[in-house]
Amino acid sequence: MRLDKFLSTTLGITRKEAGKLLKNKQIEVNGEIVKNGSLKVTDDCDVEFNGRSLSFSGPRYFMLNKPQGFVCSHVDDYNPTVFVLLDEVSPEKLHVAGRLDGDTTGLVLLTDDGQWSHRITSPRHECEKVYYVELADPLPEETIQIFAEGVQLRGEKELTRPAKLEILSEREALITISEGKYHQVKRMFASVGNKVVGLHREQVGNIELDEELEPGEYRPLTDEEIAYFLK
């Protein structure tokens, strides 16, 4: 992470204010005064502000607009991971709360708070997720009722939980599910003879993807967004 961003995060100030601290020689890294805000800070760095050691405190929470082609794991032999998009100290300590497939885009939540992410991913909490879907073939109106009753997926013993389907056009829809079976949305539409050609997650619980985030960009969650899964 850049030093100016590290100062902004740990001190709760703007990057412009962090730049002033650097200019005024108030910041030391590993015992030396540093004025360059672009200096990369790692776990091994000892950063001090007027003699006071700085470090991240408490868990971290982020939303990311995941681009296509990135995977939600720390290591992959063939594809880039979402963690290379993060300019954060110790990104390896963060994990994804509810993964997306490599070809699926949209809202990804990242944290180092295991209990918080468990409330999103545990089936018993029935956390709702909203997806925008593009389909290969026209979508019959009766699919709404079929999904509301639950469908039988190949290899599964039980029906899916009731899902809400809103048809936007003959090949576009919004679907809300409250579980996270493997490739669930794609398999649900396959069960009614259709094929998903585009999939984008728009919402998890009450957390909606920030429209200002371009693909590959991220931001910290607000206190209100974090609190939703702490209830």
Closest CA relative to residue 66, chosen from 7, 18, 19, 106 = 106
Contact yes or no for 36/25 (Cβ under 8 A) = no
DSSP code, position 137: S
Tell me how long the chain is.
Answer: 231
Q: Distances in Å between the alpha carbon of 102 and those of 76, 106, 164?
A: 11, 11, 24
Contact yes or no for 160/181 (Cβ under 8 A) = yes
What 3-state DSSP class applies to 9? Answer: helix
Residues with a catalytic annotation lie at 101
First to last CA, the chain: 32
- Can you list the positions of beta strands (E) in 25-89? 27-29, 32-33, 47-49, 52-54, 61-66
Query: At 191, which helix (H) or strand (E)?
Result: helix 184-191
Closest CA relative to residue 31, chosen from 18, 21, 45, 20 = 45
